[in-house]
Chain A
Amino acid sequence: MQELSVRVGGQAGDGIASVGEAIARSFSRMGLHVFALNAYQSVIRGGHVWFQARASPRRSYSQGDAADVLYALDKATVEIHAAQLRPGAVVVHDPEKFAVAPSELPAGVTPLAVPTLEIARKYTSQSILQNAGGVGAVAFLAGIPLDVLHQVLVDSFGKKKGEVVDWNVGASTDGYKFAEGHASPNARVLTRQGPAKLLLTGNQAIALGAAAAGCKFLAQYPMTPASTIMHWMAAHARTLGVVVKQAEDELAAIHMAIGASFAGVRSMTATSGGGFSLMVEALGMAGMTETPLVVVESQRSGPSTGLPTKTEQGDLNLMLGAGQGEFPRAILAPSHPADAYAATIDAFRLAEDWQTPILLASDFHLSENFATVDREELQAPPPPTSLFTVAPNGGDYRRYQNTPSGVSPRAIPGQAGLQFIAGSDEHDERGHLISDVKAGIPLWISERQRMMDKRMRKLEGLAGAVPAPVLEGPPDAPVTFVTWGSTIGAVRDAIAELAEQGRPANLLRFPAVYPLDVARVRPLLAGARRTILVEANYSGQFGRLLRAETGFAIGDRLLKYDGEPFSPHEIVARALEAPSDGRQ
């Protein structure tokens, strides 16, 4: 695939993400597709952080496997990343900070010593400006026109004092010119491809999708990698008319969201696995009281507090089983920001239609990384109507009326004559408890069963209402990858690589991992010749779910739980290997 990747590394506090984002945004403004990986650690200063911007004329779905320009703000960056540089790559560094000898680099990779600190001193005593000189040099090597870079810098520093903008523009020009005098652009440089694309993270797409779906209330407790949903929404709260509440804990966050939803506002909470574990009891309460709710579960490496800034798809079992007893739920699992936007809108629609909690499974890799999206991919649905305008049947009002679909007419507090109690205890159609003086009495034993049946019946409808599984690629390919969520990205890139090698493969992906419509899934699996499950967890949780639901055992498994996202080459390698014995 035609592509060029820039990697920037250094310590936390060096401004790596700002540098990386400036590069990534320059590419997206050139109309190129970008996938940008933001790899950081659970430290505020020090350690090692890095950012990779991968640009390509057609969409790349993952960070890829290698880089062509490395901007190293410390020596450790060179040591850590040198092995992943492609022939022709250049390592930008400042000789005042450390030297890089050609012998330290792989064959075909050369260092470029750029006097970034010296450039910075022309303008200010603030050493952070060194990054502007570095970015300029990187831009030259990566084929980014100087005017594009300048506009990105102006836009990102525009709110600061005028001189800061001028320094950045000046220093980046100096860095660009220096590189021009001492090196050549990378042979892989890409040209402008048309109008600028949008560049956003999965979490920004989720927050935007929520707003488009009519979310008016978001309650959250900070936890990586879900916090930036709250950050984006809080920054836009007044413009969008959304109340954003940082709660005292995740227990409060989900209960606030349930309270707000009960009172007629489309509501959401978002967290990671640890916070979601605290929300489990309330999730069941939303199911029992039939209160619509969207919960974003952005997974990170577990168990326990695990690796806070690393990715995993290890919470599927938790999401499937969260809550005592049984109640209907659906789990949507987007793979890319464009997809995350649409899935969030779907989640709100499903929550409202089926009056039950809908989980949106993200993970660090989707939530925190950037990708390009075309404007047309972010169409807003028609604004939803006020819930007060759909009045339930009057007269003999039963909030939990037993209906064929399991969905009952929903009254909103403030509507006259429809008062009811939403009960966490088992209740009858009117919401009256059958948990105390009626428990165990024959009439009410059967009522309990009817109420369970009524609620659980929603699962049948949900299975048809959630997005269907999709078989992508040649249907008769000898290899079928089965995967879900953010891992879809690397699999798609791997399939593209395999196709270039004349090895067709296809992809069976599940935009909704639960509930599964078995009648729709079985035929898709029946035609597969060799199946490979690809999941970022230890035990192949989705593979187990698929087997439990369909009886289909996937032949081969590629599982990863080291905290890093899949790279396309790992997946390609597995496809080229002989099939394993299919143990699961």
Chain B
Amino acid sequence: MADSSVRSPVAVPAATLPVVGKSETKPTWCPGCGDFGVVAAIEMALKRLAIPSHEVVLVSGIGCSSNLPHFLSSYGFHGVHGRVLPVAEGIRWANHGLTVIGTGGDGDGFGIGVGHFVHTMRRNVDLTYVTMDNQIYGLTTGQASPTSSLGHTTKSTPTGVIENPIDPVALALASGATYVARGFSGDVKHLVDLIANGIRHKGFAFVDVFSPCVTYNKINTFDFFRQRVYKLESAGHDPSNLVRAWERALEWGDKIPIGLFYRTERPTYEELEEVLHAGPLARQPAGLVDPGPILDEFV
């Protein structure tokens, strides 16, 4: 062992099990950033569900929004760009007693990390993925993102975006996500419901959040969304109907739906992985007590 002094077992007082709150680190986002609403909504959702902070892991990638785990009092893994979901999956499979929430931006999730997005949904891993979708690259000072609108002029597209944007909600429906929602950081109360229900949902819960960048996106602003969003819950949408969910997902223009598009029940990856039936992997015995029977196959 490298240095036994730092590993001496000292009992950790677990008398109080505080729920997730703010950490000692203050957010570093631009004043007015949409992400303030999202971190507030995640904190409130976790408080509502009364999950102790040591049983929550926030996982993020790289980008302005990916700093989010630092601002709350749970465990966190702030990794490299685009790999939020595989890290989150590894954590879930290692300990499915934990509440795992992936957080990140549209570039992180739908650009560099889009392959993982699709695969995590088809697996129905029981975690919640909240994307702060501002349709721009902010931390790299304003390039086009996979969700930037056609024609959007940015530093990397001075004559306008000529690629069709990804529709994260439609992609989630196509990929087999079992909880697909869209929120708006200008409506935190509504967003808390979507995130709390997503965490409570058994299976992969996806919450795409319009989270405007006040510095680099002058098109998709708070006002842009305030004028356009309407709530599916108020429009009589039936979230159990996949065909209706598709129709709503394709709506974009003067009216843009937010709320729960679709929810269904399907066994989770963790339920289908037999090895996990014996309990969280991190708590299971490890190693070989008697290698004999296994060695017999090599005779």
Contacts and interface: CB of A to CB of B under 8 A. Distances in A.
B78 A424 contact: yes
A413 B278 CA distance: 19
Interface in B251-299: 273-276, 278, 281-291, 294-295, 298-299
A422 B61 CA distance: 12
B215 interface: no
B13 interface: yes
Given A241-B284, A259-B88, A436-B67, A465 B2 contact: yes
B77 A247 contact: no
Interface stretch (A69-77, A116-124, A306-314, A398-406): A398-406
Interface stretch (A93-101, A206-214, A445-453): A206-214
Given A262-B77, A380-B288, A401 B6 contact: yes
B282 A412 contact: yes
Contacts, number: 256
Contact of B75 (A281, A413, A458): A413
A384 B93 CA distance: 19
Nearest to A432: B25
Given A204-B298, A419-B53, A256 B281 contact: no
Contacts of B77: 259, 262, 289, 421-422
A404 B4 CA distance: 11
A239 B76 CA distance: 32
B235 interface: no
Contact of B86 (A217, A236, A252): A252
A389 B80 contact: no
Contact of A262 (B2, B90, B288): B90
B94 A264 contact: yes
Interface residues of A, number: 98
Contact of A384 (B6, B70, B75, B287): B287
Nearest to B289: A383
Contact of B3 (A253, A405, A421): A405
B204 to A, nearest CB: 15
Contacts of B57: 263, 413
Contacts of B276: 243
A415 B12 contact: yes
Contacts of A255: 79, 83, 86-87, 90
A269 to B, nearest CB: 10
Nearest to A427: B78
Contacts of A28: 299
Contacts of B288: 211-212, 240, 380, 383
Given A263-B98, A354-B2, A407-B3, A212 B291 contact: yes
Closest 6 CB pairs of A and B: A259-B90, A383-B287, A214-B286, A263-B94, A255-B86, A264-B282
25 contacts: A211-B294, A212-B287, A212-B291, A213-B287, A214-B286, A238-B274, A240-B288, A243-B276, A251-B86, A252-B86, A259-B77, A260-B281, A261-B94, A262-B91, A353-B1, A390-B9, A391-B10, A392-B10, A413-B55, A414-B55, A418-B54, A422-B77, A424-B79, A432-B25, A465-B2
